[in-house]
Amino acid sequence: MDKIKKFQEALQNSQRIVFFSGAGMSTESGISDFRSADGLYMAKTHQDYSPEEVVSRRFLEAHPQEFFDYYFEHLVSPEARPNAGHHFIAQLEEIGKDVTVVTQNIDGLHQVSGSSKVYELHGSVHRNYCVAQGHFYTYEELILDDQGIPCCPEDGSLVRPEVVLYGEVLDPQVVEGAIEAIRQADLLVILGTSLVVYPAAGLIDYYQGKDYVVINKTPIQTYRPGGIVFESTISEVFEDVRASLDL
């Protein structure tokens, strides 16, 4: 039996499905990943700092203007729209599957496509808060000062994105919800991630089901034997399985 057929049957025979997505999920929406040849970690910052240093809490506090210059140029894509992969996952929910998304992405595209149960391990660019009083703002509500730094219209304090920067920990409630969903899943589908970013990547170890699927453009070290592994784009694989599921 070929891999596409196995994937089709796994989807049909499973009710609780968890999709664990990484940066490769959104590259077809025009959002750069991190570790490919054209990824963000290869981009120059025009400073004596690596991209990893720039997107750290320490750097934000010490150099807010440089942080937000890089942030708005490389990490925010307001024009991006969900791609066929995001829509496929949402459509599975529409036909009655119990679908949970656990994502490392901060772009919010899973929710835009219609997925209702999404655990954002690294936060979202769409949620921002004043560091002094905690006032919340959407991305569209941000007001920038003359240095390009978001500021709170209530008290003038810095407004930062609710994303997990280097030097910060994941939200324990989000992690707990993601672990429980993975633990209860009949099927785990890993999408567009190299599985090298911890602690997020370690959450898949809680999966107790038999079948799992990996779709990634480049080879990765799978976390246990027996998986259905595709070295392809997510949309290509999903398109091949779509017809038999009547989506």
Residue with tokens 């936060």: 123
Alpha-carbon gap, residue 103 to 174, rounded angstroms:
11
Contacts of 29 (CB under 8 A, 6+ apart): 77, 80, 81, 82, 83, 86, 107, 109
Provide the H-helix boundaries in 97-215.
Answer: 109-113, 172-184
Contacts of 62 (CB under 8 A, 6+ apart): none
Active site (annotated) includes residue 122: yes
Measured CA angle at 217 (ends 213, 218), to 5 deg: 100
Token pair belonging to 177: 């919800």
Token pair belonging to 229: 């592994």
Q: 139: helix, coil or strand?
A: helix
Burial class (CB in 10 A: 0-12, 13-18, 19+), 174: middle
Q: Which of 86, 87, 110, 122 is catalytic?
A: 122
Active centre residues (catalytic): 122
